[in-house]
Structure 1
Amino acid sequence: MDITIDQMVRRLRESRNPAPRPLTRLEWILLAVATAALFAVSVSILGAVYGVHVGFAFGISALSTAGLLLAPVRPRLAILLHFAGTALFPFPYAIYAEAWPLPVPQLISLSLLLAIIALRETLTLSIAAWLLNLAAPALALILLGLAAMQVGGNVIPESSSLIAITIYTGLIVATGYNLSRRNWSKRELVQAKRTVEIEQERRMGAEERSRIAREMHDVVAHSMSIVHMQASSAPFRVPNLSDEAKVEFESIAGSARAALKEMRTLLGVLRLDEDTALAPQPHLSDLQALVDGSANGGIEAALHLDTDRDPSTLPDTVQLTAYRVVQEALSNVIRHAPGTNAEVSVMLLGPELTVRVTNSAPPVSTEDRNGAESDSNGSGSDLALGGMGILGMRERVTTLGGHLTARPQSFGGYVVEARLPVAEAAQTPEPTQSAPESEHA
């Protein structure tokens, strides 16, 4: 698998700072319930135990608990809000009561906030949230200690509580961060296994393509080369050939050369040959030569082009697909209905390219001569091979989001029509709903 430098840098950054996953709906509901419960309890305790004014109690509780809902999406803002609530509490605390540096609801909300930050964010942000939210009660204890020294008191109980809170919340940060790295390592392991599986599938596919390419080269290409050599040398090997026979042999040799060229292109694609991948592919401008060459196969074909703009401006994939549809359709006419007339129509009007190939009803003599090879319904030898011609055309067309129909005509003959979208935006291919169709006669 080819990996660019940018991809390597991005993966390195992700390994250091893995992106947190979004919370599920159930997790959001549980978090909202916990926030509402902590808010209600905090307001009650601040008012009842610490004697804080109800307005002040609502403000401190809102700042301390609102950060829980913001932590999964706005962690820095959540940290600042909780810090504001923690920093405001020492003022009424120092006035009204002597108790822990943090009320129990604030301690619980701080623990949840640190757990969320540690599980989802970086270690640096987790430590910053931990130290920032402990700075306010530590500063309050220092000021309270200075005041107590003037009156002969002490703040040892509060200091011990702050140390215990610091150790407790520090363990939460360390545990949460280790769990997050463990979960991230598991996800990376799963992704690495998937990457290895994909790479193995690609390698197996490449090996299979290479095997098919070898078979085609050793069997098909060799046989076609023999046909080309026999047709090219026939005028020199066979005495007293007429001019018509020499022209026919030359036509056969030309068709064999073209087929060998197509075969080399196909072999290069199967072998992932870079030179072949860069070779020019047939376009709509090559249709005239294709239609003219069909006369060598025993049919008369005509091309009609109706466009409102230059066909060469179409995407290469659309032009190649249209060319292959015409090529396969004419090949079917040559195989199953020699002696008929074919008409190729290419219409480019608006956002759609329509390619239609029709042929007239085969002569009676042709049907009698072919017998089982073509019947009145247009089925022939290609159907005996599974109808791969129409199947291949349909796969090409549907890949581009188009639609292909192939059906017999009521007055005889056959029609193959492909509609290809030519808009720049990619369109999702729709499944073909038409009934199974047979090859045309």
Structure 2
Amino acid sequence: MSELWPAPRPRDRVDAVVSLPGSKSLTNRALLLAAIADGPSVVRRPLRSRDTLLMAAALTALGTGIDDTGGEVSREGAGDWAVSPGAWDRDADVDCGLAGTVMRFVPPVVGLARGTVRFDGDAHMRLRPVGQMLAALTELGVRVDDGGRGALPFAVHGSGSVLGGTVTIDASASSQFVSALLLAGARYERGVDVRHVGKPVPSLPHIEMTVQMLRSHGVEVDDSDANRWAVAPGPVRAVDHVIEPDLSNAAPFLALGAATGGRVTVTGWPGSTTQPGDELRTILALMGCEVTLSDGGLTVVGPDRLAGVDLDLHDVGELTPAVAVLCALAESPSHLRGIAHIRGHETDRITALATELGRLGADVTERDDGLDIRPAALHGGTFHTYADHRMAHAGVILGLAVDDVLVEDVGTTAKTFPDFATAWSRAVHGTPAAAGAPAGTAL
């Protein structure tokens, strides 16, 4: 059985200032675009976590040079990442771990390489959807061998070039299907014209993030029509990126203020961003929090009692675990909907949340596309995480208001937030960090 971690409960109203590590979504997009750019560049303030190290390892295996400004790439390094495009002329094995961005973003660029690249990952990754994207790659001229599974493990046989062109896909399971094709598309002979058919694409802000980053590299993208994104063929200009703090990882820390009636400030919050986590400002205000954005960061002051909400989280599904727990602590019922796609995330998050919250006393009804949550008396116990970092965030938030919550495998948070448990304990108990403390600490 995985180790159980006692979720800390604050002694009083919290007053904390928190600095967060960089965005995983931005870091991995920046690394991939730098790897196919027309010259060397630097990714500044990158996130160093399991997901981003897996992306760096995948691109390095293909022949890209990625180095810490102070030495070899590592989790412990504190510098920026210098990226030098190289000759992609070798066979390689890529470990996707639990990183959807590695499983989906790397295969479309492998078609530009010369060699066979084999993909696999953690056991649960073999259940995550990727078949629509692999079929699209085949249609665009990339040779893919997945044994007809439409899932890991699979191999991509690069020929050094990809014809590209128009392709129609159903991206209702993941916006990453679209982003993956767009990120590589400029390097295809005919570019790429992606057309979505099916239920609405989830997490549209992540596609907007991809489009914005492509344009910053000088790539021409036409997104003027709904459900269609066209990337013109041409070079990907080398540019340096400064990575924003990960706003989705801010969710548990802002919840710390919301759930305790305390005050939490997350420093470095951008005034304008494509990150879905920015929607936390609106969600927490609806739940009764005082939310203020200033030069010092985003500050949330919690109310005496949280209000329930009726929310469509379709575009920001990754926020569901944190929001669901706050709803379980609210004084009135909540309805979370539009999130059927999160059943295909690191775990089936709808069922997992209904199961774990229900196990600890919450009154929860699981719907096909969401959750209904009503006020109920909660109690302690084990909160299982299913190797899902967002479920671990949910568990520690519950522990803010409920005694004796034991979070299984809190270390799974290293997927996107190294040493989360230490940063969380410092924020909850108001322990000052040392001068010059790294991102991800309470200040």
Please indicate, yes or no, whether the TM-score normalized by the shorter chain is above 0.5: no
TM-score normalized by the length of structure 1: 0.21
Query: Which structure dedicates a bigger proportion of its chain to strand?
Result: 2
Structure ranking higher on relative contact order (CA contacts 8 Å, 6+ apart) = 2
Larger Rg: 1
